[in-house]
Chain A
């Protein structure tokens, strides 16, 4: 890293920052692209089908259809870019970016490996170094911003289905954010801090010698609430009201085509990646490796990746298992089940902490 930095005439810190930026954003972006294939292939397998397996590089190398995202990308690039006649042109253009940017930004605070020291300099494997003061409030805040992409896309396309989708997603967002935040607050209390690195450090070691000391074993109720709310946040299937293909055509992205649509679709998968990374960090010990006291850097990154990809797969898995909720059922669940459950979780852990001291 030092040599590279001197080659580029910058300090190691700046070179490291740039490297991290490229790794994180390119990584999340390409993972999201691959996940479109995983989703299609996984759904096919679950339904006893085969899925896209024919796209081939140079017409020869098939690699079980992994070239499919590439082919899709090329197709999207060359499609005609239509803007509806009565749409609000500026906002119509802005919406895909409003959707994509928060989805990518949310990942910035998550440590994807343990920090290491090299050449007298400490390197952190997270875009925002620990102790930045924002901590885990940051992904919550960014998650709140994410709904604007959907809302703006819905409103600017001047289509009834779109507006219905946008309204549904905004109402769903408001009713789920509170339960999610309260579930996270209970975690802050256990870790005694709200920085992701503190939360991960608090999850090291073992619980009763048989289980890893992960938050899920301490707060299963909180995990269920958070997990459910993540589905509402990412607009994924049991709660995909913004899209609702079977009821409102394609919801907020009905009028979108070509590259703008692909950005909207990719932003959903980026969001999925961020959400699964958050779940891995908050409830499954982030980069901690179970039963290993001091994992090496590579091992910690690998552990984090495995956890994150597992949750990304769970998102796909659940999507092809559960049917969609009705809109009022979602509200019912959000306000009458999720909120009280997270309250109970919070109060119970506050009580336990007060007993402990």
Chain B
């Protein structure tokens, strides 16, 4: 069905073309002045490397593997996230361990290797949903770039340290307990 477009009748002032042009110039000049006298911090443009956008609640950025207070990893290597991952970018290798002095020690498993291929990850957050221990979550960092493909294959320690700078925590690169099979522990 066609729509009948009503022709706008222009007044004589508008038909001179000079007056509308001047009105338009007034509008653009208002914008110019407004922009000129707005301090940099309040402008619409966020000048990226110097200023960064505050990401909204629920934004899914780079992953972090959570740890306990004493630095032990929360992950129990249950493989739920690996199963849930639609992009199949998570790969886990589990190991056995126990040491009752440490928080982690109540568990019997932990990941020996935990890697996420950031080039394959689609940041869907399914791993976070699947995790029974709340050990993996997606936070607000979005600056994932590197010079080669291999450096975007994040390992266990990379994932545990992704937000150390923002949180002001210490970087750790070693498990507080060495991995010792239970049967070798003297009873």
Partners in one complex: yes
Whether, in the assembled complex, A50 has its beta carbon less than 8 Å from a beta carbon of chain B, the answer is: yes
B32 touches A45 (CB 8 A): yes
Number of B interface residues at 8 Å Cβ cutoff, please give it. Answer: 16
Nearest first, the 5 A-B pairs at minimum CB distance are A45-B35, A321-B28, A321-B24, A45-B32, A46-B28
- Could you jot down 25 A-B contacts, CB within 8 Å? A42-B32, A45-B32, A46-B28, A46-B31, A46-B32, A47-B31, A48-B31, A48-B34, A48-B43, A48-B44, A49-B35, A49-B44, A49-B45, A50-B35, A50-B43, A50-B47, A224-B18, A317-B25, A317-B28, A317-B29, A317-B32, A318-B25, A320-B28, A321-B27, A322-B21
Query: Which residues, 222 to 260 on A, are CB-close (under 8 Å) to B?
Result: 224
Contacts of A42 in B (CB 8 A): 32
A48 touches B35 (CB 8 A): yes
Whether, in the assembled complex, B36 has its beta carbon less than 8 Å from a beta carbon of chain A, the answer is: yes
- Name A337's closest neighbour in chain B (CB-CB): B17
Q: How far is the CB of A55 from chain B (nearest CB, A)?
A: 14
- Name B35's closest neighbour in chain A (CB-CB): A45
Contacts of B45 in A (CB 8 A): 49-50
Q: How far is the CB of A271 from chain B (nearest CB, A)?
A: 21
Contacts of B27 in A (CB 8 A): 321
State in angstroms the CA–CA spacing of A322 and B21 once bound together.
7
A317-335 CB mask vs B (1 if < 8 Å, else 0) is 1101110000000000000
State in angstroms the CA–CA spacing of A50 and B35 once bound together.
8
Q: How far is the CB of A84 from chain B (nearest CB, A)?
A: 36
Contacts of A318 in B (CB 8 A): 21, 25
Question: How many residue pairs between the two chains, A and B, have CB atoms under 8 Å in the bound complex?
Answer: 39
State in angstroms the CA–CA spacing of A171 and B156 once bound together.
70
Q: Which of A44, A48, A50, A322 contacts B24 (CB 8 A)?
A: A322
- Name B45's closest neighbour in chain A (CB-CB): A50
Q: How far is the CB of A22 from chain B (nearest CB, A)?
A: 34
Tell me whether chain B's interface is mostly helix, strand or loop, or mixed. Answer: helix
State in angstroms the CA–CA spacing of A210 and B31 once bound together.
31
Q: How far is the CB of A238 from chain B (nearest CB, A)?
A: 9
Contacts of B44 in A (CB 8 A): 48-49
A1-38 CB mask vs B (1 if < 8 Å, else 0) is 00000000000000000000000000000000000000
B14-28 CB mask vs A (1 if < 8 Å, else 0) is 000010010011011
State in angstroms the CA–CA spacing of A224 and B31 once bound together.
25
State in angstroms the CA–CA spacing of A44 and B20 once bound together.
22
With A50-B35, A317-B28 already in contact, 20 other A-B pairs whose C-beta atoms are closer than 8 Å: A42-B32, A44-B35, A45-B31, A45-B32, A45-B35, A46-B28, A46-B29, A46-B31, A47-B31, A48-B31, A48-B34, A48-B35, A48-B44, A49-B35, A50-B47, A224-B18, A317-B25, A317-B32, A321-B21, A322-B24
State in angstroms the CA–CA spacing of A47 and B21 once bound together.
17
Query: Which residues, 29 to 53 on B, are CB-close (under 8 Å) to A?
Result: 29, 31-32, 34-36, 43-45, 47
State in angstroms the CA–CA spacing of A202 and B97 once bound together.
100
A46-62 CB mask vs B (1 if < 8 Å, else 0) is 11111000000000000
State in angstroms the CA–CA spacing of A144 and B79 once bound together.
78
Contacts of A48 in B (CB 8 A): 31, 34-35, 43-44
B18 touches A321 (CB 8 A): no
Contacts of B34 in A (CB 8 A): 48
Q: How far is the CB of B149 from chain A (nearest CB, A)?
A: 30
State in angstroms the CA–CA spacing of A42 and B36 once bound together.
9
Q: How far is the CB of A262 from chain B (nearest CB, A)?
A: 27
- Name A318's closest neighbour in chain B (CB-CB): B25
Query: Which residues, 208 to 222 on A, are CB-close (under 8 Å) to B?
Result: none
Most buried by A among B18, B21, B32: B32
Contacts of A46 in B (CB 8 A): 28-29, 31-32, 35
- Name B20's closest neighbour in chain A (CB-CB): A322
Contacts of A49 in B (CB 8 A): 35, 44-45
State in angstroms the CA–CA spacing of A224 and B27 once bound together.
20
Q: How far is the CB of B132 from chain A (nearest CB, A)?
A: 48
State in angstroms the CA–CA spacing of A321 and B32 once bound together.
11
State in angstroms the CA–CA spacing of A318 and B44 once bound together.
23
Contacts of B21 in A (CB 8 A): 318, 321-322
State in angstroms the CA–CA spacing of A322 and B31 once bound together.
15
Q: With A50-B45, A50-B47 in contact, do A321 and B25 touch (Cβ < 8 Å)?
A: yes
State in angstroms the CA–CA spacing of A292 and B43 once bound together.
42
Contacts of A321 in B (CB 8 A): 21, 24-25, 27-28
Contacts of B35 in A (CB 8 A): 44-46, 48-50
- Name A319's closest neighbour in chain B (CB-CB): B28
State in angstroms the CA–CA spacing of A320 and B43 once bound together.
20
State in angstroms the CA–CA spacing of A12 and B47 once bound together.
54
Q: How far is the CB of A61 from chain B (nearest CB, A)?
A: 17
State in angstroms the CA–CA spacing of A317 and B36 once bound together.
14
